[in-house]
Chains A and B, each alone.
Chain A
Amino acid sequence: MLSPERLALPDYEYLAQQHVLTYMEDAVCQLLENKEDISQYGIARFFTEYFNSVCQGTHILFREFSFVQATPHNRASFLRAFWRCFRTVGKNGDLLTMKEYHCLLQLLCPDFPLELTRKAARIVLLDDAMDCLMSFSDFLLAFQVQFYYSEFLESVAAIYQDLLSGKNPNTVVVPTSSSGQHRQRPTSGEASMLEGVEASLFCQCLENLCDRHKYSCPPPALVKEVLSKAQRLTFYGFLVALSKHQGTNQALGALPDKGDLMHDPAMDEELERLLVQVPGLANSVTASPETSCLPSRTPPRGASPWRPHHHPHKVDAESDGSTEETDESET
């Protein structure tokens, strides 16, 4: 009924733990940007709507990246929004490249950093060429781990590098999020005959890390379980196992189980209802509206008379990395 730890915290810690000030500050910024709204509806109404949208998780839509990643709740909301908006991509069985997924992310968050998408793609593709195609659910599950546990993974990468080079793990200094060099793989010269590091040692270090980490990290029991399945493993081996583990998805709580990722009957119904209303589209209800703004390599499915109008414009506006597809579709 009541969790007493919350009541025992000092005021400032309670507020920080719940990110109350983050949202209050943001509410004030939003209010200052929309001064005309408050003269019409009143300040209390403005704040009511703001905090309601935070509760519902719609507050991160089209916001700047620094805000989208500011709190665990914002990250989970963003993952959920991404899934809900582009689920039909997966349902149609489209395979997309890393750059294309990045375009989708940028539709929701215009300044979403490419680096993060690339890291997520690496979890799926490992050593394969980075322009390989990925399925929606593979990408989504890898992306959620990379995005949600970003800072944690940075620290894990640093620990992994130290273990590889034979340093004592207990003297590891956790880097700040600004250091990004430790992703480099060991050159074949310095890597030992066996690939990766010893799982039990790695596990010990990660347990320590979970204990003192101030950002969100996966449940320690889960990390342990993932690591107990192998004798040795590589950094990306660990990430793959973590992202594919059912428990990770459950602990994070933003998405449904993997089997249900494509399943959302209420949303499907809503989509069909909307599509019926679009004139000239009545016979092609299987085509989804979201895919229309994608640079797509497959020919348009069904009759979609609106496609040529939307397509070039959207691509110009939202993607800067996928020129080849744009060229293709414009010719």
Chain B
Amino acid sequence: MAALEKRRPAVAPGAGFSDGGRPTASRAAAGAESEEDFLRQVGVTEMLRAALLKVLEARPEEPIAFLARYFENLGLRSPASGGAGDPPGQLLLQQQRLSRALWHLRLAHHSQRAAFNNNVSVAYECLSAGGRKKKPGLDGRTYSELLRRICREGEAPDAAVAPLLRKLQCRDHEAVPLGVFRAGMRTCFVLLEFVARAGALYRLLEDPALAAADRRVGQAVLDTLEGALQTGDGDEAAPARYLEAGSRLGPDNVALAMDRAVVARRPCVPMHREEFLEKAAALFIAKVKPVG
């Protein structure tokens, strides 16, 4: 932040006096000052400061594209665009709130704990802000709707995520506290990533000609995964358990299980992607504690 502040005066004079030969020192100083004033008055300084903070918080891989999206969203929100007409209906307002909350939630990956938690709080505030006909606070209906949208846009099969939604949902008229909201959001994003990785795993097993995987092999992989997840059970999640789970998922272990499955030679029907993902997701969801 300070860097931007310090650097700007050095840049501004060049931009302002490109036409006027060599300006005197005082003129340059006055120009720089008025330009800084101008930037502050119209809100550029504040806007860039907020944007830069967001970049640093989220550390996106492509910050320039991130900034383009950031400002685009900012432009859509500002009353200058589309604020002149009739006041939008309640339904539209609700949709806008949801989109805005979603956008905040997606700014940082859930593994960046501090940034993600921060964004969850902002999203929570977005959704629970009071309006003319709306009491402040977040109700279960909006929360469930948001969960559904995240899952829908996460490209996971419905059947795979539906059990999670059932577990995490609150009743429509229940008030949702921040803690529940945060846990729900994080679980949802982690599950989506889990499903995405399970999808990648399935692609390795799949026979492209049949668009299906061998059931014995698929089941063996799922069983190994389940075994590994069960190691994590216990009173305390000691690091040793993570290590053990990791070793159970090691390539040789999985290969051994797959090998055994193929040798068993039981007759079977092929396993399709949806089924594999559903079963994998079920393993994860079994670990999620229901709300309340």
Contacts and interface: CB of A to CB of B under 8 A. Distances in A.
B56 A31 contact: no
Contacts of A21: 3-4, 7
Contact of A52 (B11, B68, B109, B193): B68
Interface in B52-101: 52, 55-56, 59, 61-65, 67-68, 71-72, 74-75, 78, 80-81
Contacts of B253: none
Contact of B42 (A7, A15, A38, A54): A38
Contacts of A73: 64
Given A44-B71, A51-B68, A55-B68, A25 B3 contact: no
B55 to A, nearest CB: 6
B39 interface: yes
B223 interface: no
Nearest to B39: A28
B64 A54 contact: yes
A47 B65 CA distance: 11
Contacts of B43: 43
Contacts of A263: none
A25 B52 CA distance: 12
B243 interface: no
B15 interface: yes
A128 interface: no
Given A18-B63, A48-B68, A55-B65, A28 B44 contact: yes
A22 to B, nearest CB: 10
A51 B55 CA distance: 14
B48 interface: yes
Contact of B8 (A15, A25, A52): A25
Given A15-B56, A28-B8, A44-B75, A33 B15 contact: yes
A45 interface: yes
A20 interface: yes
A70 to B, nearest CB: 12
Given A25-B8, A33-B15, A42-B75, A47 B67 contact: yes
B27 to A, nearest CB: 16
A324 interface: no
Interface in A1-52: 1-3, 6-7, 11-12, 14-15, 18, 20-21, 23-25, 28-29, 31-33, 35, 38, 42-45, 47-48, 51-52
B16 interface: yes
B232 to A, nearest CB: 22
A1 to B, nearest CB: 8
Contacts of A6: 59, 61
Contact of A20 (B15, B64, B193): B64
Nearest to A64: B18
A32 B4 contact: no
B42 A29 contact: no
Interface residues of B, number: 40
Contacts of A15: 3, 55-56, 63
Contacts of B193: 1
A43 B40 CA distance: 12
Contacts of B52: 20, 24
B12 interface: yes
B165 to A, nearest CB: 24
B20 to A, nearest CB: 14
Secondary structure at chain B's binding surface: helix, strand, loop or mixed?
A: helix
Contacts of B56: 11, 14-15
A23 B48 CA distance: 12
A3 B61 contact: yes
A2 B3 contact: no
A31 B44 contact: yes
Contact of A42 (B62, B78, B112): B78
B178 interface: no
A51 B193 CA distance: 29
B226 interface: no
B81 A42 contact: yes
B68 A32 contact: no
A238 to B, nearest CB: 34
Given A12-B3, A18-B63, A29 B11 contact: yes
Contacts of B65: 51, 55
B39 A20 contact: no
Contacts of B35: 32
B64 A29 contact: no
A45 B44 CA distance: 12
B245 to A, nearest CB: 20
A325 B212 CA distance: 68
A80 to B, nearest CB: 16
Contact of B4 (A18, A24, A43): A24
B119 to A, nearest CB: 15
B71 A51 contact: yes
Given A24-B52, A43-B43, A51 B67 contact: yes
B71 A47 contact: yes
A2 B68 contact: no
A277 B182 CA distance: 59
Contacts of B175: none
A47 to B, nearest CB: 4
B193 to A, nearest CB: 8
10 contacts: A14-B59, A23-B67, A24-B52, A32-B16, A38-B42, A43-B42, A44-B78, A45-B71, A48-B68, A48-B72
Given A14-B59, A18-B63, 8 more contacts: A24-B4, A35-B38, A42-B78, A44-B72, A44-B78, A45-B71, A47-B47, A54-B64
